[in-house]
A and B are shown apart, each in its own frame.
Chain A
Amino acid sequence: MRRGTGRRTQRAGRAWPLLVAALVAVRPASAQETRLDDRLPPTVAARVSALVDSARAAGLPAEPLVQKALEGQAKGAPGYLIEAAARSLLHRLGVARAALAGRPSNDPQDAAELVVAADLLEYGASATALRALAGRRSSGSLGGPLVGFLFLLQRGVEEPEAVRLVSAMLDAGLPASAYAELQRLVDGDIQHGISPRGAAAARASALVRHGARLQGGGGAR
């Protein structure tokens, strides 16, 4: 009796790790495949799922690929375009990680940073520019500076100038809120007829000069 119970316990003991491993491995994948299967034609869903698996295998964030496919479906894009967009994003994520010298990570903030960098590459930014900004990272996330960089490019500021301005803000150790403030101020200036380049240069240098006040919280109120 006791020997039989022991064998059952032993078998159960061997089975548990396998069961847990199977659950961990299968659960996220099946959830994503379900979303793709529900919204995309079967062939497109299968191809995008293969890209999702490739991203996981490479340690890249996979969820952006699923979202890219769902975005394409919501926007009425044909299947070949959805697949091409997901494939392109996978490639850009790899290039972005190399440029930022990143490593596989489960931190959502690291993933966000990587996807913004991929956005920048899609917008035409160079990997050299990303490397230049990543090289100035001291601590904390590069997400805010990268979004600031994307904003400047979108407003028509040339890449070298945008890199120079964001680099100066990075060197000054400004918080992410400073990049949001840069956007607000530059957009206001543009609405007043000031050139994007001139507005960006003036506002960025002013933020660099006064940034310490924002972080320190001291001074007159």
Chain B
Amino acid sequence: MIDPLEAGLGTVVERLRRLPEPDPGALLRLRRAVEADGAEPAPGGGLRTVLSPARAAAAAVLLVGLTSLLWIVLLGPRDALPGDAAIPVQFVLAAHDARSVVVVGDFNDWNPAATPLRRGTEGVWSVVVPLSVGRYAYSFVVDGREWRPGGGAAPRLDAFGRPSSVLLVSRPAT
């Protein structure tokens, strides 16, 4: 008897294998062209895009936490992935003196015990969370008491008097 979960995963893997080869130079070329056209080159901070070694099945993995808003865009045709396919998203926060960092948001029912970050080198904390297509509000909590939005943005307090950020995970354009 075929396990339905296994069969579903097999279908997803097969569809991912059929995704077109992404053009790794396209974004770089655009960046160079725009920076040559505009003002000074942007510093290293801000949004960073990381493709996994195996293209992560054409899914983009973006570092969250250095910006308040970001997009996750899959490379491929609109029907390449089912609407509920999870996309790995990495949340990152630089907090040198922190003893603990968690991320809470619409993806984990704002549960502070659900998604702790791991401390990496130089006080950079991170965690990867698989997310489906959607819009997610989120915030970091440092040492169980300090609420921090995703980096760069001017923090804006929400209706509850605490900062939070917005993350959009979307399908590719047709």
Q: Which residues of A contact B (CB under 8 A)?
A: 35, 63-64, 67, 70-77, 81-82, 84-85, 88, 107-109, 111-113, 115-116, 119, 122-123, 139-141, 143-144, 147, 150-151, 154-155, 175-181, 183-185, 187-189, 191-192, 194, 199, 202-203, 206-207, 209-211, 213-214, 217, 219-221
Contact = CB atoms under 8 A, between A and B. Distances in A.
B159 A81 contact: yes
Given A111-B134, A116-B135, A185 B42 contact: yes
A194 B142 CA distance: 31
Given A140-B174, A147-B168, 19 more contacts: A71-B106, A71-B164, A73-B110, A74-B110, A75-B110, A75-B160, A77-B159, A81-B160, A108-B134, A112-B135, A141-B173, A151-B69, A176-B172, A179-B71, A184-B46, A184-B67, A187-B46, A187-B152, A194-B39
B45 A191 contact: yes
B39 A70 contact: no
Contacts of A75: 110, 147, 160-162
B60 to A, nearest CB: 8
A19 to B, nearest CB: 21
Interface of B: 23, 25-27, 29-31, 33-35, 37-43, 45-47, 62, 67-71, 73, 78, 83-84, 104, 106, 109-112, 132-135, 137, 147, 152-154, 156, 158-162, 164, 166, 168-174
B170 A109 contact: yes
What 6 A-B pairs have minimum CB-CB distances, sorted nearest first?
A188-B42, A74-B110, A140-B173, A206-B37, A112-B135, A217-B23
Given A116-B168, A203-B34, A214-B27, A139 B45 contact: no
A45 to B, nearest CB: 14
Nearest to A74: B110
A202 B38 contact: yes
Q: What's the dominant secondary structure at chain A's contact region?
A: helix
B71 A176 contact: yes
Given A109-B171, A183-B70, A221-B29, A192 B47 contact: no
Q: What's the dominant secondary structure at chain B's contact region?
A: loop
A206 B134 contact: no
B23 A74 contact: no
B69 A183 contact: yes
15 contacts: A72-B159, A74-B110, A85-B160, A108-B133, A119-B166, A122-B159, A151-B69, A154-B153, A176-B173, A187-B45, A188-B40, A199-B39, A203-B38, A207-B30, A207-B34
A214 B29 contact: yes
A12 B67 CA distance: 57
